[in-house]
Structure 1
Amino acid sequence: MDHLQTQGINLPRLGLGTYRMQGTVCREAVESALALGYRHIDTAEMYANEDAIGAALASANVPRGELHITTKVWPENLAPDTIRRSFDNSMKKLKLDVADLYLIHWPARGMNLPAALDAMMKLKEEGRIRAIGVANFTVALLKQAVEDVGAPIACNQIEYHVMLDQSKVRGYMAQKGIPLVAYCPLAQGRAASDETLAAIGHKHGATAAQVALKWLLDQKDVAAIPKASRQESQQANLHALQLQLDDEDRQVIAALPKDKRFVSPAFAPDWD
């Protein structure tokens, strides 16, 4: 498994996303992933599954130093004292003393971003967080965090897949050495049925989903966290790492329309 080095942490480039997985389904999915060799597990307080993940981590025979656990604070909890309470609750549910990566899940309109980041940096200074980052941040918000506040942003987690162009924000992140963690890397399952990707996969003895995932992971400073509750899907995503796309494949994928954003809630920032 390749890793990305960012702000003092080693981030496995392929992780397990857990959104909309809860209870026994979530616990068993995490246990399965860890048994297969996954070491990067992504969650958030909003997912209401940190307790299930904590149970899976507690039962797994994996040294803590090998694991990378990301969780996130919900936008309504971005006041400094609320961030600390949210973090404490997350750690209690995850049964952890230290989070590897703690993210602002979504920017909130009217938020005091400097104060929020300062609260997160204090937790980092206390040794309770190894690195901090953001999710769903635009270039303008990243500039505020990096240039105005001077926060050590370890990643920006955003929707990114073969159907969505993210070159604008990726360009800025590249300038600042900030990795991208792609959520919905399979376009919420739509990549699996794309005929163009399926044709490329057929050439390599792979699936369309594996092609879409490897296209992301072939890019510099990009990690991906596909959600997969079934062991077969988790294994297939791992096997995507062995796929070798050629220049022709990449040209064909580059020509696909890239204007499909599938996650855009009412409170989302102005992506443009």
Structure 2
Amino acid sequence: MEYETVGGERVPKIGLGTWRMQGETCRRAVRTALDVGYRHVDTAQAYDNERQVGRAIAESSVDREDVFLTTKVWPGHTDRESIRRSTASSLAQLGVEYVDLLLVHWPNPLASTAEVMTGLNDCRREGFTRHVGVSNFGVDQLRTARAASDAPVFTNQVQFHPYKPQRDLRAYCQAHDVLLTAYSPLAHGGILHDDVLRELAVVYDKSPAQIALRWAVQQEGVVAIPKSTSERHLRENLDVFDFRLTDEEMVRIERPSRLRSGASFLRGRLG
């Protein structure tokens, strides 16, 4: 495993995303992930699976302190007290005393960013979370959140893959020591038949998915949280640290495309 270090905190470069995992499928996937070596798990209030994620961690032989655990506050919680109450509920669902990272899930145009960040900071001061951050924020929104937060904004979790490389946001995060957490790093399966990735997969004896993940995590300040429920794919997604892409290959892989990004978004919503 490789790590990113932000503010003295080491975060595994590959974690497990749990969006659209439910019930026993979720519990089993998280438990299997921990068994095969994952130490970074991501969930959210909106996923309605915090209880299953927490059960898997409790049942695992891995100590809670060794798991970097993230959850997210639904953006409908817009004031300090509702953020506090909802976070306390998340901890109860997860069966833990704290999470390592608490995010606001989406920017809410009807909410005060300052109020929301104050609510997250309240949770940090109360010991509900060790770090605070945001998700799905653009550069200007992230700049506003950073200015409004007493604690450093630890990460911005966004969709990030070869067709949506978030160049401006990535540069901003790198310049300000903000971790970029990549969700949907495989473009909801859209990269699996990509000619460039398939060609490089042959060169490195890897799969196209592994090439895409390597492209993501090889970048400074980026970690990725691919979703998988099968043990084979969970193991495969971790097996990306025994090779390194060249600078030329990194450039070839990165091809911004609104069409392909849009198709990925639709696959994620309809799949």
Normalising to structure 2: TM-score of the pair? 0.93
The residue number in structure 1 matching 2:160 is 160
The 4+ residue runs of structure 1 with deviation greater than 4 A are 148-151
Structure 1 residue 241, shift from structure 2 partner: 2.2
What amino acid sits opposite 2:16 in the alignment?
L
Three-state SS of the structure 2 residue aligned to 1:228 is coil
Equivalent pair of 2:88/2:128 in contact (CA under 8 Å): no
Q: How does 1:176-255 map to 2 (within 5 A)?
A: 176-254=176-254
What is the distance in 1 between the residues matched to 2:170 and 2:104? 18
Structure 1 residue 85, shift from structure 2 partner: 1.3
Structure 1 residue 143, shift from structure 2 partner: 1.1
What is the distance in 2 between the residues matched to 1:93 and 1:204? 42
**Cα distance change of structure 1 residues 21 and 141 upon mapping to structure 2, 3 Å threshold:** same
What is the distance in 2 between the residues matched to 1:112 and 1:8? 29
The residue number in structure 2 matching 1:89 is 89
Equivalent pair of 1:186/1:226 in contact (CA under 8 Å): yes
Deviates more, 1:104-113 or 1:245-254: 245-254
The residue number in structure 2 matching 1:269 is none
Identity %: 36
The question of 1:43 aligning with 2:43 is answered: yes
The residue number in structure 1 matching 2:16 is 16
What amino acid sits opposite 1:162 in the alignment?
P
- Structure 1 residues 27-59: Cα deviation after superposition (integer angstroms, max 9, x where no partner): 000010000010000000000010111111110
Deviates more, 1:97-106 or 1:7-16: 7-16
Equivalent pair of 2:154/2:178 in contact (CA under 8 Å): yes
Equivalent pair of 1:162/1:253 in contact (CA under 8 Å): yes
Would you say how many aligned residue pairs link Structure 1 and Structure 2? 263
The residue number in structure 1 matching 2:257 is 258
What is the distance in 2 between the residues matched to 1:196 and 1:161? 14
What is the distance in 2 between the residues matched to 1:108 and 1:21? 25
What is the distance in 2 between the residues matched to 1:187 and 1:243? 22
Superposition RMSD in Å:
1.5
Three-state SS of the structure 2 residue aligned to 1:30 is helix
**Structure 2: gaps spanning 5 or more residues:** 267-271
What amino acid sits opposite 1:87 in the alignment?
T
The residue number in structure 2 matching 1:31 is 31
The residue number in structure 1 matching 2:269 is none
Three-state SS of the structure 1 residue aligned to 2:124 is helix
What amino acid sits opposite 1:100 in the alignment?
D
**Cα distance change of structure 1 residues 43 and 124 upon mapping to structure 2, 3 Å threshold:** same
- Structure 1 residues 53-82: Cα deviation after superposition (integer angstroms, max 9, x where no partner): 111111011112211100000111122111
Equivalent pair of 1:70/1:99 in contact (CA under 8 Å): yes
Equivalent pair of 2:84/2:122 in contact (CA under 8 Å): no
What is the distance in 2 between the residues matched to 1:50 and 1:154? 21
What is the distance in 1 between the residues matched to 2:59 and 2:148? 43
**Structure 1: gaps spanning 5 or more residues:** 265-272
Structure 1 residue 147, shift from structure 2 partner: 2.7
What is the distance in 1 between the residues matched to 2:209 and 2:215? 10
Q: How does 1:20-169 map to 2 (within 5 A)?
A: 20-169=20-169
Structure 1 residue 177, shift from structure 2 partner: 1.0
- Structure 1 residues 214-243: Cα deviation after superposition (integer angstroms, max 9, x where no partner): 000100000000001000000000112223
